[in-house]
Amino acid sequence: MNEQIPILLVEDEPHIAQGIIYNLQAEDYLVTHVESGEAALEHLQNHTCALIILDLMLPGIDGLEVCRQIREQGNQIAILMLTARGEEDDRIAGLSEGADDYLPKPFNLKEFLLRVSSLLRRSNWQPTIKKQLCFGRNCIDLENHLAETANGQLQLTELEIKMLQQFINNEGKLITRGELLQSVWGMQPDTETRTLDNFIVRLRKYFEIDPTKPQHFLTIRGRGYRFDSGNIEN
């Protein structure tokens, strides 16, 4: 499971929004939908995203104003503006306010998705990759595959790092055996293998104070595992 690319959709027409959300989610993007420019600007104060799909005609401030404000703040996020069909002035205005691309409505969904992916390729969106993770008495250097543990320093293998990454990205959530087999080993989710169990045993030996009473790498009986760094405040 890769980290999903977050996209902010600013669209006040429910039917259009629904279609867009459905199609973006089918491509595995993480969509946040707001219905006004004000809500979009507010969202951007506390969240990062890779791309904004911005309707031009909005209640309150319009898409152009949203675009202007985003650029004024020095935010270089990719913006795809949705305009009315054939309104050349709108397109030019959108581009001059800093939109990266525009698409007149109604649009072909395939074309829409192609433009989204090409904008994302061109944008310099980098998912926030954590370089270091500390939990319990452990600190893991994910780049150099090194871990400082209560038992001293360890060199981790590629697969161990890959597996840790899955746990970290999904902290607090159930990860099924199938998901781990698929994402770490590229195996079919229903593969019968002890490999995974052996890995969990090893991670516990490395990182748990008492491997028989794990605090971090928890078994969810009959379903899979859950990682708890103990760092998240409730």
Where do contacts with Ca ion occur on this chain (CB under 5 A)?
12, 55, 57
Q: Which is nearer to Ca ion, 13 or 228 (CB)?
A: 13
Q: Which is nearer to Ca ion, 33 or 177 (CB)?
A: 33
Q: Which is nearer to Ca ion, 56 or 175 (CB)?
A: 56
The first and second tokens of residue 188, run together, are 């079919």
Cβ contacts of 160 within 8 Å, gap of 6 or more = 145, 199, 202, 203
CB of 83 to Ca ion, least distance (A): 10
CB of 91 to Ca ion, least distance (A): 15
* Under 8 Å between Cβ of 35 and 44: no
Q: Which is nearer to Ca ion, 13 or 141 (CB)?
A: 13
- Residue number of the CB atom closest to Ca ion: 57
CA distance 176 to 3: 17
CB of 57 to Ca ion, least distance (A): 4
CB of 58 to Ca ion, least distance (A): 6
Angle at 171 between CA 28 and CA 6, to 5 degrees: 30
- 151, amino acid identity: N
CB of 59 to Ca ion, least distance (A): 8
Pairing of strands 224-227, 174-176: antiparallel
Cβ contacts of 190 within 8 Å, gap of 6 or more = 178
Residue 48 dihedral angles phi and psi, to the nearest 5°? -105, 150
Q: Which is nearer to Ca ion, 12 or 38 (CB)?
A: 12
The first and second tokens of residue 28, run together, are 């595995």
